[in-house]
Amino acid sequence: MALIVQKYGGTSVGDVDRIREVANHVARTRAAGNEVVVVVSAMGKFTDDLILLAHDVSSTRPAREMDMLLTAGERISMSLMSMALGAIGVKSSSFTGSQAGIITDTSHERAKILEIRPDRIREALDEGLVPVVAGFQGVSTERDITTLGRGGSDVTAAALAAALKADVCEIYTDVAGVFSADPRVVTKAHRLDKVSFDEMLEIASTGGRVLMLRSVEFARRHHVPMHVRSSFTWEPGTWIVEEDPTMEEAIVSAITDDTSEAKITVAGVPDRPGVAATLFRELANDDINVDMIVQNTSAYNLADISFTVAKTELKAAMAVCEKVQKEIHAASVTSDDSIGRVTLVGAGMKSSPGVTALMFETLYKDNINIEMISTSSIRISCVLRADKVADAVRLLHTAFGLDGE
Ligand code: ADP
Ligand code: ASP
Ligand code: MG
């Protein structure tokens, strides 16, 4: 008997028929002799609708109240799912994140899980029930309701799977697995059978939104395999597993695209020790996550520092930079929110020269200008104009031989 955590995303529980179909699948999984814990997202685009409501009602939206509001979406799905299971004879009980023992820090709207006390979930399993847990939410050490950031139900599922020592964490979504590129951007993208945790971390952190980054980190740290698959066809999908020596390392496994970031440039910065430290310390103190960083030294001992931040944090980051600009006597601070990023990910890249050259040549052939570059041993990212990103992904997908495999 295996213990399986099954997470169903918004589209998977988008309406009443879908909820019934999911309930049938849970019943099938149980009938095959498994224990099942279900994690649900809000129905369809319900979270977006709640955000719009908040915008309509007020221009000030305290993060604590936003969390109270948004967690309502998952509460609706969890109770309906439990009722749908009951209707087909599967005994179940629903739990909010707080009831499921998901304890977070106090950062509203992007809380981090500190601890999981899944006693009630274990008790429910021992009583032969299917626990249905509201994704995306927890309770803080100050006893306030928190959310884990957009897409956070993936984290709930991976964290519960880790705490319960589940055999697998299944992520059901509207595509058949992890693809060689976002299938909505590249129609010729193909499904990957297996992806290593290392590659998946790079895919998730550079725009492949099929899994939230922190869920992959949890699963890797606790050695829980993940299985990303379709709740429409129920066919086997993509396994995210620890790398093993028999796994073939593709030079490029996947190409991601991301237009969620903006670029900030602090120009004419005195080129002396401590200046970059001051700037990035101030940003860190305000909890602003910085992604790619590039520094060019120009004439007269002045440098330009450019970096990217999430568009949602641009305003806060600009305020910090403008303050620091005065302290460090930099010439100017500017921002650009029309950038995008394309990234090649592949574990075989580390031992294959020429990947970077082919990437740059492919972009050059289409006259696409590269504005920033960053690499890890298994990733190369380029920042481009946002309106060039989709073309760039398609061209690179063809150039690296990934089309329709
Ligand atoms: P859910 O609501 O089920 O959590 P998401 O919208 O968060 O679903 O994630 C699924 C979507 O991720 C797909 O519809 C697809 O467009 C997008 N996506 C982006 N990159 C990839 C990729 N490499 N493979 C599969 N899907 C991807
Ligand atoms: N409903 C939340 C969101 O839309 C969480 C999730 O779906 O994972 O971000
Ligand atoms: Mg998601």
Is pLDDT at 243 greater than 90 in this prediction?
no
The pLDDT tens digits for 74-133 are 999 999 999 999 999 999 999 999 999 999 999 999 999 999 999 999 999 999 999 999
- Tell which residue, 357, 355, 399, has the closest CA to residue 379: 355
5 lines ligand 1 (CB under 6 A): no
In this predicted model, what pLDDT tens digit does every residue of 16-70 receive, in sequence order?
Answer: 999 999 999 999 999 999 999 999 999 999 999 999 999 999 999 999 999 999 9
Average pLDDT taken over every residue of the chain: 95
Q: How confident is the model at residue 247 (pLDDT cuts 50, 70, 90)?
A: confident
How many whole angstroms separate alpha carbon 339 and alpha carbon 389? Answer: 9
Atom of ligand 2 nearest to the CA of 150: 9
Query: In which region does residue 404 sit, left (phi positive, over 0), alpha (psi from -120 to 50) or beta (all else)?
Result: left
Domains and CATH numbers, the chain: 3-174 (3.40.1160.10), 244-405 (3.30.2130.10)
Is 90 exceeded by the pLDDT of residue 265?
A: yes
Cβ-contact 177, 191 below 8 angstroms: yes
Site to probe by mutation for ligand 1, drawn from 46, 154, 182 as the one with most ligand atoms within 8 Å of Cβ, is 182
pLDDT above 90 (res 244): no
272 or 366, higher pLDDT: 366
Sheet containing 261-270, strands listed edge to edge, beginning at the edge strand earlier in sequence: 290-297, 302-310, 261-270, 332-336
pLDDT over 70 for what percent of the chain?
A: 100
* CB distance 271 to ligand 1 below 6 Å: no
Query: Residue 76: exposed, middle, or buried by beta-carbon count in 10 A (0-12, 13-18, 19+)?
Result: middle
Counting from 1 in the atom list of ligand 2, the atom nearest the Cα of 136 is: 5
pLDDT at 405: 58
Identity of residue 97: G
Which of 348, 336, 358 lies closest to 292 in space, CA to CA?
336
Tell me, in angstroms, the distance from the centre of ligand 3 to residue 386's CA.
22
Does any ligand 1 atom lie closer than 6 A to the CB of residue 204? no
Q: Which ligand is nearest to the CA of 177?
A: 1
Rounded CA separation 249/130 (Å):
38
User: Could you tell me the pTM of the whole model?
Assistant: 0.95
Residues with a CB atom less than 6 Å from ligand 2: 9-10, 41-42, 47, 73, 135-136, 150-154
pLDDT tens for residues 152-210? Answer: 999 999 999 999 999 999 999 999 999 999 999 999 999 999 999 999 999 999 998 89
Residue 71 is encoded by which pair of tokens? 């967690």
